[in-house]
Amino acid sequence: GLLSAWLPRQSWFPKLETELGADPDITPMSVTRLFEWDSGEGTVRGTQAIISVGDGRTLRRINVPLSFRTSENFALRAHLIGTIDDITLGPCWVYDGCADPVFVINCAHAAATARRFEGGQVAAHAVSNAMTKFHRVQTEHQMLDYAASVRLELLEARAHESTVVIEDPENPCVLTFFRVVQPGLSQAVRIPVALTEAESRAVPEVMGWVSGRWFDAEELETRSAPLAMLSVQYPDSQPAWREAVDIACAVDSGSIGSYNKKASALGARIGELHLDLAAEFGVVRGAGEPTEDWVAKWQERIDWALARAPLALGDLQAKLKEHRANLSRLDTVGALQRIHGELTLNQVLTSPVVGFTVVNFSAATQEFPKPAAIDLVALLRSIDYAAGYARLRRTGALKADAQPTFIGLSGLSDGHESLREVVDSPEYLWSSQAQNSLLTGYSHAVGASVGLHDPMLRAVLIDRLLVEVVTELRNRPTWLIVPLATLTLLLGGRLEHDSQPEDDAEGEAAGEAGGAAGGAAGGATGAATAWNAEETVSAEEFAQSAVEEIAQPADPVPDAYDDLDTEVARAEKTGGGPGAADQTAAAETAADQEVALRPEAPARPAAPPTAPEQTPDPAPAQPESDASETAASDTDAARETTASGTDANADPDDAVIDEDADAEAAAATQFPPIPARPTTLPRFPNRD
């Protein structure tokens, strides 16, 4: 069928273990006609389909917006799914609805105005009360004119999502389509909506969202899930990762502190985010069993890393074992709360209008409370990788003819020449000051001391660094120096941002932004003040509140099989019959079993480099720069993407490790960030 042939070619389609060259079997679960308009050049019909791929435990539900046009649209040729002979419309060209301006504007208008759809299978939910251009566009002809005049940009960089930027100077916004859906209200919608309603400055304002429901043939009940979300697009927004890379690439001895003010503002905004999340979703006590679980996880990670990178970590083995023993002395990991969980500089947007905002929350429908330290560590590592990229690029280490590195075999001792080169580089000094400013800004926001003297932050940082070391060793040996140097300095108590700031009145008021790590390696017995918030909800209450169904109209949802005379069903019949749902397909790896990578990419195609070398292939060659090239053109060359659609040198945080197993790490094409697991939260003062 049309969809069976088209779906596997899409970047957002989940990877399935099917026979080589075989199309996946699909089963329609819901097919809803949203609109049918006469555009003057023919009829345009918008249809919303929910289909299933696989069966049983491997079942995946896919959201497929479809646009049927009775006349070919040459501007949409790249998004053509195929052609069919429709019973009522006649010959039709079927396009991806996410690329069709008429479909996009119709969906965005519904989300902003809570416009009702017939049938009740698709519902719109307005969030913001602000009057927008969508409220002034009412009739069919007005929406068609609007769709013809506005410029759209379709981005499919984030896994399982398609993002459409509606570039209207009067009403700029972003419509995100969730391609792979899970029944229930996902955190990707729930958190931004809740924070928008709480008037938080930490996220872009959500204008509205669209949900769909279907009769699930697998679960034999009616289920629902978010299909799309409309958010405000602030002027001149760009990923903070891109901005940090640009600044790091231009750093010299005279501009070491060029990112400090930005980093401090970023830390303050993340502090606001954690405060707002704690206020909206509650704080869970982390003492007792949660602490034992986290300590056990961190200790297992050390054993895991030493077994997989014995040579690279050989010089650090004694200190890592000392750190492992000291973890047992940790009395409590502090409080736990809802956090972002996948936060990196690529999940942060910066705009001259509103400063920093956080995007791309997890698509999971159920989240466990975690430590806020996870978000902080992820940002610290992003800054370090921005500096690491700039240093590797400046030294020519990323070129195809660069000398290979052997630190994966020899390790990195305190006196190693490569370590001295890192510490003496302007990029390292830039990164150290930026990270220190980030921690200081965060401390100011939460009213408590946060630094590497804190055993919680330190434990999470070492845990993440071990994951980075193993993954870089397997996939990007050239990049191994970035996490290994930081780990060596951290365990040796030599990190520049691991010391008390001097002559900093603000830092004194907020408490230490960093602390002397020394050789204790987490020897303190309790978490620092910042992680000791009072419990506001029990773990059971948190778990119950995390599972929220979507309010939908009460009328029943018909089984998709009851009406096979639909666009999708007819398309399937045209291709040889509807797909059966009985094919065994292995889905993405389960938690605690394998490393599942989800490549992330910048919100704009021109974002700075973000994806690692592959093994065993060498890293993608960076363009040679000659004397005639400017710094700007060199940076632009570094941003160019490979033919695969991923950037040549990535922020390691642009993919997600679901858990800590490593079955697919050797073949991974994208560097993973910190595992997405339940953690703990800092103690925050009253917000009054």
Among the listed ranges 43-57, 173-187, 464-478, which one has the minimum average pLDDT value? 43-57
Give, in order, the Cα–Cα distances in Å from 475 to each of 147, 593, 622.
44, 19, 17
Query: DSSP string spanning 486-523?
Result: HHHHHHTT--TTSSPPSS-HHHHHH--SS---TTTSS-
pLDDT in tens, 424-453: 999 999 999 999 999 999 999 999 889 888
pLDDT in tens, 346-373: 999 999 999 999 999 987 766 788 999 9
In terms of pLDDT, which residue wins out, 527 or 450?
A: 450
pTM of the entire predicted model: 0.77
Q: How many CB atoms lie within 10 A of CB 311?
A: 13
The mean pLDDT of 565-592, rounded to a whole number, is 33
Mean pLDDT of the chain: 76
Q: What is the reported pLDDT for 512?
A: 33
Q: What is the reported pLDDT for 522?
A: 35
Nearest Cα neighbor of 99 from 61, 46, 35, 38 is: 46
d(CA 221, CA 200): 36
Structural domains of the chain sorted by starting position, each given as residue range(s) with its CATH number in brackets: 2-233 (no CATH), 238-540+591-667 (3.90.1200.10)
Q: Find the DSSP H helices in 258-372.
A: 260-281, 289-308, 317-327
pLDDT in tens, 263-280: 999 999 999 999 999 999
- 305 pLDDT above the threshold of 70: yes
Return the exposure string of 276-299: e unless at least 16 CB atoms fall within 10 Å of the residue's CB, then b. bbbbbbbbbbbbeebbeebbebbb
Angle ∠(302,307,309) on CA atoms, nearest 5: 90
Q: What is the reported pLDDT for 18?
A: 58
Q: What is the reported pLDDT for 215?
A: 87
Among the listed ranges 58-62, 471-475, 594-598, which one has the minimum average pLDDT value? 594-598
Packing angle of the helix pair 373-394, 426-446 (nearest 10 deg)? 160
Q: What is the reported pLDDT for 409?
A: 86
- 214 pLDDT above the threshold of 50: yes
Q: What is the reported pLDDT for 53?
A: 87
Helix (H) or strand (E) holding 167: strand 161-167
Sort strands 173-178 and 221-232 into parallel, antiparallel or unpaired: antiparallel
At 517, list the tokens. Answer: 């790590």
pLDDT confidence bin for 628, thresholds 50/70/90: very low
Q: What is the reported pLDDT for 596?
A: 30
Q: What is the reported pLDDT for 148?
A: 92
pLDDT in tens, 108-153: 999 999 998 887 899 999 998 888 889 998 889 999 999 999 999 9
pLDDT confidence bin for 1, thresholds 50/70/90: confident
The share of the chain scoring above pLDDT 90, in percent, equals: 50
Q: What sign results for the dihedral spanned by CA atoms 384, 385, 389, 395?
A: positive
Helix (H, G, I), strand (E, B) or coil at 51: strand
Helix (H) or strand (E) holding 94: strand 90-96
Contact 631, 252 (CB under 8 A): no
Among the listed ranges 175-184, 221-230, 566-575, 576-585, which one has the minimum average pLDDT value? 576-585
Sort strands 283-285 and 238-239 into parallel, antiparallel or unpaired: unpaired
Q: What is the reported pLDDT for 275?
A: 95
Class of residue 235 by CB neighbours under 10 A (exposed 0-12, middle 13-18, buried 19+): exposed
Sort strands 161-167 and 173-178 into parallel, antiparallel or unpaired: antiparallel
Packing angle of the helix pair 631-639, 240-249 (nearest 10 deg)? 140
- 668 pLDDT above the threshold of 80: no
Q: What is the reported pLDDT for 544?
A: 63
d(CA 193, CA 198): 9
- 517 pLDDT above the threshold of 50: no
Phi, psi of 651, deg, nearest 5:
-60, 125
Q: What is the reported pLDDT for 342?
A: 87
The mean pLDDT of 454-476, rounded to a whole number, is 95
d(CA 536, CA 569): 50
Query: DSSP string spanning 3-22?
Result: HHHHGGGSTTSPP----TTP
The mean pLDDT of 190-204, rounded to a whole number, is 95
- 610 pLDDT above the threshold of 90: no
In terms of pLDDT, which residue wins out, 402 or 606?
A: 402
